[in-house]
């Protein structure tokens, strides 16, 4: 063996270290105490504590009145704590804060009527304790077991569900169980409660095992996190030894391995790790000087678990999220806790703003060494940062963004990342007659005009930003405008002759003739104030700042559609829309009418069009003439019929045809006709 690699994360985790320190403190102060169950999964540590005066009790009934009893890091059910107190014992709770967070999650879920699904080892003390904090629940160890019991507990899945996981479980097992549940349950809330230290230890062990020819894992055989650690190493390395102490190490299995890795579970003390490492170092002749350069595990632990104080600015990783608080690993002896309400201000959803694994910064508000918890405030830190940003914005004129949260007599209040900014009514950019309530809950852009930090007073102006933006948009439009260019605008006002449309800071006018291809009486027949419309430029005058806009689609021009479809000689199905003395007007296409002269209605003489036709009739007619310039069409029904036989007429020399009538039709469609005079 040429090289030994030791995992940086090996050894006591925060929860175990904390419980051992609390036990030592009780022994120092009282000389003796008891532990409800073995304090940690390591016989050497337990025997060492027993030698100093700590006895292990298996049941609360064994506790003596007045005796100091320590609750181990795994935690216990509330009933067992009550039973200890009933015995008269003085209880010190060393439950790991990360485990205690699970207790709160499941307790709250049960109160909300949810069933609880726990992913973990059934006989493990941590899981047994979690079960005591919830109502109806199930414990499963893996996805395979979950699939087996699915059909056996149909009533359980019908209720809303909360899923939690033992802090020392593997990420892969948790993911597999989540995938199974998500596919079958629509009302499930999942809490990723795997301890970040455990996850980090497992990730490092996997990487180390993949690079090494052999691995040594130190830990208790009944320690869940140590067992999982060994399993992970076995997935990546064929030569893995799982030992509890130095005398179990088989060096013969390491002699042919070039690189050997060493890691340890969360309940393994630093001195045992050091013993194993030294034995391996001696065997493989690693120079002592190189070993001594490495930090001892006690030193690494002390370096990692740095102290924190009130007022400190800290940074950490989110390890758990409940309905009321966010747990943050600070790399310190205390777990940071931030109230969830600090993330949900303004109606934001918690899952949208923070997730497990996110890094957050906050200020330490209060440190509780007894419970191992530090109360943090992200809001205070953010507010301090925002105040600095606000002061800088007032100096350099930077535009800020905020949400209007309230109105008052003189204007509105805008929340800019938690800082209240007052905007006077004259600076809101609203019309004089408009109500301030129109701005409520809207996101606005503003400039800071006054800052008084001592009085916590900030004044801003929405109008300044709006005016500047309008000027920019106006200049941009005039610089880029051209005939035919399209714009999306808003109808600002209507008149008898057209509509004014705002196309981004400039109003253009759509004449009534440009509103529709059909006949309309007034612009309001087509548009209303506030409508969003697509328009195009017909003409513009930069000097006079006037723009003429079109609204009707050129491609929808009825006359063009008619000429594309019909020509002289074609037959069209037309609808009679109006009857006149000189003929009938018929709709060929919507917006296009043609005239059927009275002489072209029938193949016989008729007195008036209504003798043959009625408004609404649909008839076939032949296109006989098209005036493309004047957009006029002549139609004939008569041209489609067979000519009527000519009736025999007796010859009368001087008898005129007194029934002949000659029509003249003007461009406006009016007709006049007179019969020729007959000489007597």
Q: Could you tell me the two tokens for 200? A: 């980090």
The rounded percent of the chain whose pLDDT value lies above 70 is 89
Report which DSSP code applies to 675. Answer: P
**pLDDT-based confidence at 668, cuts 50/70/90?**
very low
Based on DSSP, count helices (H) and strands (E) in the chain, helices before strands.
17, 34
Bridge partners for 409 per DSSP: none
What domains sit in the chain, N to C, each tagged with a CATH number?
313-381 (2.40.50.140), 397-466 (2.40.50.140), 481-556 (2.40.50.140), 558-674 (2.40.50.140)
Residue with structure tokens 């002896």?
333
CA-CA distance, 221 to 634, in Å (whole number)?
Answer: 103
Letter string b/e over residues 475-500, b meaning 16 or more CB atoms within 10 A of that residue's CB: eebeeebeeeeebebebeebeeebbb
CA-CA distance, 196 to 323, in Å (whole number)?
Answer: 19
Kindly state the average pLDDT of the residues 42-55. 88
Quickly count: other Cβ atoms within 10 Å of residue 668's Cβ.
5
Q: Which helix (H) or strand (E) is 143 found in, with range?
A: helix 143-149
CA-CA distance, 90 to 70, in Å (whole number)?
Answer: 9
Cα 356 to Cα 108, 144, 316, 374: the distances in Å are 19, 26, 11, 18
Answer whether 336's CB lies under 8 Å from 368's CB.
Answer: no
Question: How do residues 593-608 score in pLDDT, each as one tens digit?
Answer: 899 999 999 988 899 9
Question: How do residues 537-593 score in pLDDT, each as one tens digit?
Answer: 999 988 888 899 988 766 667 888 888 889 999 999 999 999 999 999 999 988 888
**pLDDT-based confidence at 677, cuts 50/70/90?**
very low
Residue with structure tokens 């027993």?
50
Residue 80 reports pLDDT greater than 70: yes
CA-CA distance, 170 to 202, in Å (whole number)?
Answer: 7
User: Mean pLDDT highest for which of 10-14, 322-326, 633-637?
Assistant: 633-637
3-state class (DSSP) for residue 258:
coil
pLDDT of residue 435: 87
Kindly state the average pLDDT of the residues 379-389. 81
CA-CA distance, 164 to 193, in Å (whole number)?
Answer: 6
What dihedral do alpha carbons 387, 393, 399, 403 form, nearest 10°? 20
Bridge partners for 339 per DSSP: 325
Residue 666 reports pLDDT greater than 70: no
Question: How do residues 200-252 score in pLDDT, each as one tens digit?
Answer: 788 889 999 999 999 999 998 888 888 989 999 999 999 999 999 888 999 88
Those residues whose C-beta lies under 8 Å from the C-beta of residue 489, and which sit 6 or more positions away, are 501, 502, 503, 504, 508, 532, 533, 534, 535
CA-CA distance, 62 to 44, in Å (whole number)?
Answer: 23
3-state class (DSSP) for residue 63:
coil
pLDDT of residue 554: 65
CA-CA distance, 602 to 624, in Å (whole number)?
Answer: 15
Question: How do residues 295-349 score in pLDDT, each as one tens digit?
Answer: 454 555 555 556 788 888 888 888 888 778 888 888 777 788 898 888 887 677 8
Known catalytic residues are 126
Query: What beta strand segments (E) does 503-650 contain?
Result: 507-511, 532-541, 546-550, 571-580, 583-589, 592-597, 618-627, 632-636
Answer whether 333's CB lies under 8 Å from 364's CB.
Answer: no
**pLDDT-based confidence at 186, cuts 50/70/90?**
confident
Per-residue DSSP letters for 185-238?
-SSEEE-----HHHHHHHHHHHHHHHH-SEEEEE--TT-HHHHHHHHHHHHH-S
3-state class (DSSP) for residue 579:
strand
Bridge partners for 421 per DSSP: 414
pLDDT of residue 613: 94
**pLDDT-based confidence at 154, cuts 50/70/90?**
confident
**Which residue, 244, 254, 243, 248, is CA-closest to 280?**
254
The rounded percent of the chain whose pLDDT value lies above 90 is 38
Among 401-410, 448-457, 580-589, 616-625, the range scoring the smallest mean pLDDT is 448-457
Question: How do residues 256-276 score in pLDDT, each as one tens digit?
Answer: 888 999 999 888 888 888 888
Please give the model's pTM, rounded to 2 decimal places: 0.45
CA-CA distance, 18 to 55, in Å (whole number)?
Answer: 18
CA-CA distance, 504 to 473, in Å (whole number)?
Answer: 6
CA-CA distance, 473 to 316, in Å (whole number)?
Answer: 44
CA-CA distance, 516 to 255, in Å (whole number)?
Answer: 93
Cα 405 to Cα 134, 389, 418, 438: the distances in Å are 40, 20, 11, 11
Among 42-46, 298-302, 396-400, 412-416, the range scoring the smallest mean pLDDT is 298-302
Residue 292 reports pLDDT greater than 50: no
Provide the mean pLDDT of the chain.
84
Residue 419 reports pLDDT greater than 90: no
Cα 680 to Cα 654, 655, 656: the distances in Å are 9, 10, 10
Angle in degrees, 0-180, between the axes of helices 14-30 and 43-51, rounded to the nearest 10: 10
Residue 544: Cβ-neighbour burial (10 angstroms; 0-12, 13-18, 19+) = exposed
Question: How do residues 93-140 score in pLDDT, each as one tens digit?
Answer: 999 888 998 999 999 999 999 999 999 999 899 999 999 999 999 999
CA-CA distance, 544 to 90, in Å (whole number)?
Answer: 90
């Amino acid at each position: 063996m040429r090289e030994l690699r030791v995992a940086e994360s090996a050894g006591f985790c925060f929860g175990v270290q904390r419980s051992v320190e609390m036990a030592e403190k009780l022994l120092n102060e009282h000389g003796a105490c008891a532990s409800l169950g073995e304090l940690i999964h390591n016989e050497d540590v337990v025997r060492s504590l027993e030698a100093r005066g700590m006895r292990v009790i298996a049941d609360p009934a064994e506790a003596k009145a007045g005796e100091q009893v320590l609750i181990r890091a795994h935690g216990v059910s509330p009933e067992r704590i009550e039973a200890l107190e009933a015995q008269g014992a003085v209880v010190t709770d060393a439950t790991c804060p990360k485990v205690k967070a699970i207790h709160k999650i499941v307790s709250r879920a049960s109160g909300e009527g949810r069933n609880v699904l726990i992913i973990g080892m059934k006989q493990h003390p941590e899981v047994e304790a979690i079960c005591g904090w919830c109502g109806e629940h199930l414990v499963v160890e893996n996805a395979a077991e979950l699939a087996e019991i699915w059909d056996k507990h149909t009533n359980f899945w019908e209720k809303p569900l909360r899923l939690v996981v033992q802090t020392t479980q593997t990420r892969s097992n948790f993911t597999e169980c989540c995938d199974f549940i998500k596919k079958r349950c629509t009302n499930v809330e999942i809490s990723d409660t795997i301890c970040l230290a455990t996850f980090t230890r497992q990730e490092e062990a996997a990487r180390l095992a993949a690079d090494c020819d052999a691995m040594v894992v130190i830990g208790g055989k009944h320690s869940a996190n140590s067992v999982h650690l060994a399993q992970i190493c076995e997935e990546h390395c064929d030569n893995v030894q799982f030992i509890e102490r130095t005398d179990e190490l088989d060096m013969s299995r390491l002699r042919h391995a070039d690189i050997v890795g060493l890691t340890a579970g969360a309940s393994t003390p630093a001195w045992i790790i050091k013993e194993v490492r030294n034995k391996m170092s001696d065997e493989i002749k690693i120079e002592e000087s190189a070993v001594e350069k490495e930090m001892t595990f006690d030193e690494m632990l002390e370096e990692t678990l740095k102290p924190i104080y009130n007022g400190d600015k800290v940074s950490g990783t989110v390890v758990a999220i409940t309905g009321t608080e966010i747990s943050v690993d600070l790399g310190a002896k205390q777990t940071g806790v931030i109230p969830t309400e600090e993330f949900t201000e303004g109606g934001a959803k918690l899952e949208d703003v923070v997730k497990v694994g996110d890094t957050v910064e906050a200020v330490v508000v209060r440190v509780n060494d007894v419970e191992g918890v530090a109360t943090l405030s992200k809001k205070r830190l953010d507010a301090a940062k925002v105040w600095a940003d606000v002061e800088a914005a007032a100096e350099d004129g930077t535009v800020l963004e905020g949400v209007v949260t309230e109105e008052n007599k003189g204007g509105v209040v805008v929340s800019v990342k938690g800082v209240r900014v007052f905007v006077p009514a004259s600076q809101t950019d609203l019309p004089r007659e408009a109500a301030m309530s129109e701005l409520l809950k809207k996101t606005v852009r503003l400039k800071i005009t006054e800052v008084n930090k001592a009085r916590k007073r900030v004044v801003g102006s929405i109008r300044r930003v709006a005016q500047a933006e309008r000027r920019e948009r106006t200049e941009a439009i005039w610089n880029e405008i051209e005939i035919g260019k399209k714009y999306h605008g808003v109808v600002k006002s209507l008149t008898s002759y057209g509509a004014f449309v705002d196309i981004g800071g400039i109003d253009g006018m759509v004449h009534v003739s440009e509103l529709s291809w059909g006949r309309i009486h007034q612009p309001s027949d087509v548009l209303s104030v506030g409508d969003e419309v697509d328009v195009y430029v017909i003409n513009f005058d930069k000097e006079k700042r006037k723009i003429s806009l079109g609204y009707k689609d050129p491609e929808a021009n009825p006359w063009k559609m008619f000429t594309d479809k019909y020509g002289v000689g074609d037959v069209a199905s037309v609808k009679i829309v109006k009857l006149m003395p000189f003929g009938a007007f018929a709709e060929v296409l919507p917006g296009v009418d043609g005239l059927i002269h009275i002489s072209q209605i029938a193949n016989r003489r008729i007195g008036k069009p209504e003798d043959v036709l009625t408004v609404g009739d649909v008839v076939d007619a032949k296109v006989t003439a098209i005036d493309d310039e004047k957009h006029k069409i002549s139609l004939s029904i008569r041209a489609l019929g067979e000519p009527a036989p000519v009736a025999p007429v007796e010859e009368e020399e001087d008898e005129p045809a007194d029934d002949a009538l000659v029509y003249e039709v003007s461009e406006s469609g009016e007709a006049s006709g007179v019969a020729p005079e007959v000489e007597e």
